[in-house]
Structure 1
């Protein structure tokens, strides 16, 4: 892809969208609202975001929500339902499904297993160690055994 002033302008707008998702992950966000915020159509934003970051804006948002949910579940003082709504999810079923896809276990199992796993660990290290791994990251890191 050739870099042009128009591409650079789009990249700057995409960074603003990504930053907004990072800041406002717990708020009700949808692609249309994100696109309006940077004067793009929803379709154009989705295509450009996927091209730049490798996933849709919705997938990026859900990953941020799941990362935050993991931290809240490790604390152990909130129920799975409370965590679901605290991170901005509107459906416990969707939250549980996406959490299980990204983390490899249900939120309830994660809470039971991980509540003490990061005790005494600096939060910056705990965040790196417990970061969910997306499917494409797992496949990219697997050695070719053929």
Structure 2
């Protein structure tokens, strides 16, 4: 499941399908995922999307909205909030700092 989320991070999270394939409930699979990796499947996916967004913002050429959509988020507000929580500042600030060579929080 984790490998699939790594490669298909822009797709909506679907815990039901892999749970059915493993003959367990989605709740049980989520619980086992949390036990194995220390976070929920949703949290893991948000982290992967944020990492990919950071790479796209560093590369330049895309607006924050385009990056939001490219990583599978449908709400710019939610994307910006989660990005800020994980990175320490909003995506627009991250992009600006990356263009100057200082993308990390100080």
TM over 0.5: yes
Gaps of 5+ in 2: none
Pair 1:93-2:65 in alignment: no
Provide the residue aligned with 2:14 in structure 1. Answer: 30
Contact 1:31 1:58 in 2 (8 A): no
Q: What RMSD, in angstroms, separates the aligned Cα atoms of the two structures?
A: 1.9
Greater relative contact order: 1 or 2 (C-alpha under 8 angstroms, separation 6 or more)? 2
Gaps of 5+ in 1: 1-16, 119-129, 131-146
The whole-number CA distance in structure 1 between the counterparts of 2:86 and 2:70 is 18
The whole-number CA distance in structure 2 between the counterparts of 1:37 and 1:92 is 33
Shift of residue 37, structure 1, vs aligned partner: 4.5
Which aligned pairs between 1:1-146 and structure 2 lie closer than 5 A? 17-117=1-101
Structure 1 stretches of 4+ moved >6 Å: none
The whole-number CA distance in structure 2 between the counterparts of 1:86 and 1:57 is 20
TM-score, structure 2 normalization = 0.88
The whole-number CA distance in structure 2 between the counterparts of 1:34 and 1:110 is 35
Contact 1:26 1:86 in 2 (8 A): yes
Shift of residue 108, structure 1, vs aligned partner: 0.5
Q: Deviations over 1:66-93 (max 9, x none)?
A: 0000000011100000000000111111
